[in-house]
Chain A
Amino acid sequence: MEALQQLGIDVHSLILYLINFGVIFFLLGKYLYKPIINVLDKRSKLIEGSLQEADLLKNEFQKKMEEMESDKKELQKKVKQETDNLRKFADEKRAEMTKNMELEKAQMMEQAQAEINARLNNILKEAEKQTIEVIKKIVLDIVHNKIPAEIVQDSINEAWEKEQKISA
Chain B
Amino acid sequence: MKPIQELIIALIKDTLQFLSKNPSFFDKTTEERKIDLKNLKINIPREIIAYLLNINETVFLKETTELVKLLNGKQENELKETTFAYALIHYLTSEFASVLDKGSYETSDQGFFTKTINYLLETYSYEETIYAIYEFIKSFRENPYLAIQSPMRLHPDLRLNIRQHLQKEFPNSFPIFMVNRDLIGGLRIFLDGRVHDYSWLNKINQLTSFRT
Binding site for B on A (CB under 8 A): 125, 128-129, 132-133, 135-136, 139-140, 143-144, 147, 149, 151-153, 155-160, 162-164, 166-167
Q: How many residues of B contact A (CB 8 A)?
A: 27
- The residue from B158, B165, B208 contacting A133, defined by CB atoms under 8 A apart: B208
- Which residues does chain B contribute within 8 Å of A140, judged by CB atoms? 184, 201, 204
The secondary structure that dominates the B interface is: mixed
A155→B212 contact, CB < 8 A:
no
- Which residues does chain A contribute within 8 Å of B181, judged by CB atoms? 144
B212→A125 contact, CB < 8 A:
yes
Given A149-B152, A163-B187: A155 and B200 interface contact (C-beta under 8 Å) = yes
Contacts A152-B185, A162-B198 supplied; 19 other A-B pairs, CB < 8 Å: A125-B212, A128-B211, A129-B212, A132-B208, A136-B208, A143-B184, A144-B181, A149-B152, A152-B151, A152-B152, A155-B186, A156-B154, A156-B185, A158-B186, A158-B198, A159-B199, A160-B161, A160-B162, A163-B198
The secondary structure that dominates the A interface is: helix
With most chain A CB atoms within 10 A of its CB, the pick from B150, B198, B199 is: B198
B196→A153 contact, CB < 8 A:
no
- The smallest beta-carbon distance between B141 and chain A, in angstroms, is 22
Say whether B189 faces chain A, with CB atoms less than 8 Å apart: yes
- Which residues does chain B contribute within 8 Å of A132, judged by CB atoms? 208-209, 211-212
0/1 interface trace, chain B 44-81, chain A, CB 8 Å (1 if under): 00000000000000000000000000000000000000
